[in-house]
Amino acid sequence: MKYDYLVVGAGLYGAVFAHEAKQKGKSVLVIDKRPHIAGNVYSKQVEGIHVHQYGAHIFHTNNRKVWQYITKFAEFNRFTNSPVANYKGELYSLPFNMYTFNKMWGVTTPEEATQKIEEQRREIVGEPKNLEEQAISLVGRDIYEKLIKGYTEKQWGRDCKELPAFIIKRLPVRLTFDNNYFNALYQGIPIGGYTQMVENMLAGVEVRLNEDYLNKKDEYDAMAEKVVYTGAIDAYFDYRLGNLEYRSVRFENEILDIPNYQGNAAVNYTDRETPWTRIIEHKWFEFGKDENGNDLPKTVISKEYSSEWKPGDEPYYPVNDEKNGALYQAYNELANQESNVIFGGRLGEYKYYDMDAVIAAALDMCEKELS
């Protein structure tokens, strides 16, 4: 065997594992079917702007160990995510906070806001059974109708009554004037871009791009003692138990000859009619400046369209409802029988992981596997 480990997928999970394995003196080969490293955190410079090619990635974590780990590979800026919601031309602050409640109801104090929410959440009795009930019980029907329902149904392509409640629990609700989207101790964007950060993680590791593992599985398996597979778990087993469902995303990127299109990195279009879910204006992740601190004259925007995944598309989001959860469990049992393969990451574990959680999971795996 030529290598101790073959890592399939050069995204965050694969990069952490490869880095750690190399540190431990193991021989590692990383392959990826795409023509670039960094998986879905891949960023590319356009007009001096780091464009997040597979959607906005804002690093945030409460996990000090993860923060200390990732900042070895990049310095982070102090970007704070505060998306704006556009509902038919009305603008609201996100996440749901005093600015949002003031605009929605005219209330000016936390007490008045609480009263409004209390009035509206009464329609939900007992434990919320789905995303709709969870949302109404968190912020009431008005906010649900204007800021949640349309956006969520576009993003997931499913009725809010069919979606699990936990998805909406990602969003904080605050009775303060605080537009920071994340409750996180640490937050920022890697200076120099995500691709450079992953490049640093993979320094000294052999990487081969445009290599499709599943097409030449036997050949690759013969090259290494063990495989770390970060692709889709159902694809690994050739969909033999049926397809897991994923959401995919299509981006329409435009370079505009103006310095400022929307004045914010993210604007969510929360009505049902606008076909895109959000528009990202990438320069604002880095305060509109180039590497030397000069204002950038142009701007790059991406309109994000959500769609149901079909073969040939990139999978982005696992659909963690009951049906898919059960199917994943069945695949996971098959995975447990593959003694020389470790399944990891958003696709390998079919889990709506944030970046920090992927890194934490990879580091845990390294501890088990490499010590």
Nearer to ligand UDP, 85 or 136 (CB): 85
User: Is 250 annotated as catalytic?
Assistant: no
Q: Which of 16, 29, 31, 147 binds ligand UDP (CB under 6 A)?
A: 147
Asked whether position 270 contacts ligand UDP by CB under 6 A, the answer is yes
Instruction: Write down the least CB distance from residue 306 to ligand UDP, Å.
Output: 9
* Catalytic residue (one of 20, 245, 286, 304): 304
User: Is 317 annotated as catalytic?
Assistant: no
Alpha helices in the chain (DSSP H): 12-23, 64-70, 98-105, 110-121, 131-139, 141-143, 150-156, 194-201, 217-221, 233-236, 322-337, 345-348, 355-370
Nearer to ligand UDP, 164 or 193 (CB): 164
How far apart (Å, rounded) are the C-alpha atoms in residues 178 and 183? 10
Q: What residues from 83 to 122 belong to the interface with ligand UDP (CB under 6 A)?
A: 85, 94
Q: Which of 230, 180, 200 is nearest to 71 (CA)?
A: 200
Quote the tokens at residue 293: 């601190």
Instruction: Write down the least CB distance from residue 202 to ligand UDP, Å.
Output: 25
Contact 241, 323 (CB under 8 A): no
Asked whether position 168 contacts ligand UDP by CB under 6 A, the answer is yes
User: Is 34 annotated as catalytic?
Assistant: no
Per DSSP bridges, beta strands 224-229 and 246-256 are unpaired
Quote the tokens at residue 230: 């970060």
Asked whether position 29 contacts ligand UDP by CB under 6 A, the answer is no
Q: Which of 15, 16, 66, 167 binds ligand UDP (CB under 6 A)?
A: 167
- Please work out the total of residues on this chain that contact ligand UDP, with binding judged by CB under 6 A: 13
How far apart (Å, rounded) are the C-alpha atoms in residues 209 and 313? 18
User: Is 247 annotated as catalytic?
Assistant: yes
* Catalytic residue (one of 34, 121, 144, 174): 174
SS3 276: coil
Instruction: Write down the least CB distance from residue 364 to ligand UDP, Å.
Output: 22
Asked whether position 66 contacts ligand UDP by CB under 6 A, the answer is no
* Exposure on the CB side of residue 267, measured as CA atoms within 13 A: 19
* Catalytic residue (one of 278, 281, 286, 331): 278
User: Is 240 annotated as catalytic?
Assistant: no
Q: Which of 21, 148, 184, 197 binds ligand UDP (CB under 6 A)?
A: 148
Nearer to ligand UDP, 81 or 195 (CB): 81
Contact 207, 11 (CB under 8 A): no
Nearer to ligand UDP, 184 or 366 (CB): 184
**Strand-pair partners of 255:** 300
Instruction: Write down the least CB distance from residue 220 to ligand UDP, Å.
Output: 31
Q: What residues from 250 to 269 belong to the interface with ligand UDP (CB under 6 A)?
A: 268
Q: Which of 53, 93, 152, 299 binds ligand UDP (CB under 6 A)?
A: 152
Q: Which residue has the tokens 């995919």?
A: 248
Asked whether position 155 contacts ligand UDP by CB under 6 A, the answer is yes
How far apart (Å, rounded) are the C-alpha atoms in residues 101 and 105? 6
Q: Which of 317, 5, 112, 96 is nearest to 16 (CA)?
A: 5
User: Is 208 annotated as catalytic?
Assistant: no
Q: Find out whether the peptide bond into 95 is cis, omega within 30 degrees of 0.
A: yes
Q: Which of 54, 69, 101, 151 binds ligand UDP (CB under 6 A)?
A: 151
**Strand-pair partners of 343:** 229
Nearer to ligand UDP, 152 or 299 (CB): 152
Nearer to ligand UDP, 37 or 147 (CB): 147
The rounded Cα 175 to chain-centroid distance in angstroms is 26
Alpha-carbon dihedral 162, 154, 346, 65, rounded to 10 degrees: -100
Nearer to ligand UDP, 4 or 271 (CB): 271
Binding residues (CB under 6 A) for ligand UDP: these are 85, 94, 147-148, 151-152, 155, 167-168, 170-171, 268, 270
